[in-house]
Amino acid sequence: MNIIDNTPNNQDRYIEACSSELNEALLWIDSETNIRTNHARMLSGPQQGRLLEMVARMINARNILEIGTFTGYSAICLALGLSKDGHLDAIEINDKHEQLIREGISRAGLTDKISLYFGDAKEIIPTLQKKYDLIFIDANKREYCLYYDLVFDLLNNGGYILADNVLWNGKVYQEPTPADAQTKEILRFNKKIKEDHRVENFILPLRDGLNIIRKL
């Protein structure tokens, strides 16, 4: 969840005006996140959020795993696209905003569709006894490759992994390349996906870059 500029521009306003109305719970989470946290720009936002919902809906996802949920905006978007009998498991390392997350989920009417796990994803993922149709990675950028390796066998053939922030504010294509740990890992992750013949992928330049990965 990289911090990027979400200030609406004319294009954003036009897109919003010509798109379906947002779920009221998402508007509430957006507002409350701005009030209660100092990192509101970490929200997925309406454009990415709608894409997450649409992808889940298009593939008729029955089981979704989210790694990194922040205040629950993306979890609700994904869950709104679930199949009728679908379920989402959301992992968040920081329980500071648990009350906000749970209230948002309740407002969206999704309490029975979302299970929250608070703790280290590296420890929680191996305990999950389930196969997933869709996995959304948006947690510690220093651990993207590890998350990918941990979840790969949990993903159904033909399923999708969506990895956020893979352009990392443009740092991945700067010259010289920044030497910080996050940039190095994102570069390693993107290269790993490109070279993994078990998948096909495409980086969508939406917000901070979304790597769309399909397991063959």
pLDDT tens by residue, 58-74? 999 999 999 999 999 99
Q: What is the pLDDT of residue 180?
A: 93
Average pLDDT over residues 147-155: 98
Average pLDDT over residues 155-172: 96
Task: Give the Cα-Cα-Cα angle 165, 184, 181 (nearest 5 degrees).
Answer: 95
Closest CA to 138 of 5, 49, 13, 27: 49
Kind of pairing between the strands at 199-204 and 132-137:
unpaired
Average pLDDT over residues 132-150: 97
Question: What's the distance, CA 82 to chain centroid?
Answer: 15
The pLDDT-based confidence of 4 (bands split at 50, 70, 90) is low
Average pLDDT over residues 46-55: 94
Average pLDDT over residues 116-139: 97
Q: Determine the topology of domain 10-215 in CATH.
A: Rossmann fold (3.40.50)
The answer, yes or no, to whether residue 134 has pLDDT greater than 60, is yes
Partners of 91 in the β-ladder: 67, 117
Q: What is the pLDDT of residue 127?
A: 97
The structure tokens listed for 49 are: 């959020």
Instruction: Please give the Cα distance from 105 to 99 (Å, whole number).
Output: 10
Q: What is the pLDDT of residue 43?
A: 80
The answer, yes or no, to whether residue 39 has pLDDT greater than 80, is no
Average pLDDT over residues 94-115: 96
Query: Maximum distance among all alpha carbons in the chain?
Result: 49
Partners of 211 in the β-ladder: 163, 203
The structure tokens listed for 7 are: 């200030």
Contacts 24+ apart (CB under 8 A), 37-42: 37/71, 37/97, 39/1, 39/3, 39/70, 40/6, 41/3, 41/4, 41/5, 41/6, 42/1, 42/2, 42/3, 42/70
The answer, yes or no, to whether residue 1 has pLDDT greater than 50, is no
Top pLDDT among 32 and 158 is at 158
Task: List the strands of the sheet with 114-118, edge to edge.
Answer: 114-118, 87-92, 63-67, 132-137, 155-164, 210-215, 199-204
The pLDDT-based confidence of 16 (bands split at 50, 70, 90) is confident
Residues 6+ apart with CB under 8 A from 213: 160, 161, 162, 163, 193, 199, 200, 201
User: Would you say 91 and 121 are in contact if contact means Cβ atoms under 8 Å apart?
Assistant: yes
The answer, yes or no, to whether residue 93 has pLDDT greater than 60, is yes
Average pLDDT, the chain: 93
Q: What is the dihedral of CA 54, 39, 31, 45, to 10 degrees?
A: -20
- Give the DSSP per-residue string, 97-115: GHHHHHHHHHHTT-TTTEE
- Reported pTM: 0.92
Q: What is the pLDDT of residue 12?
A: 84
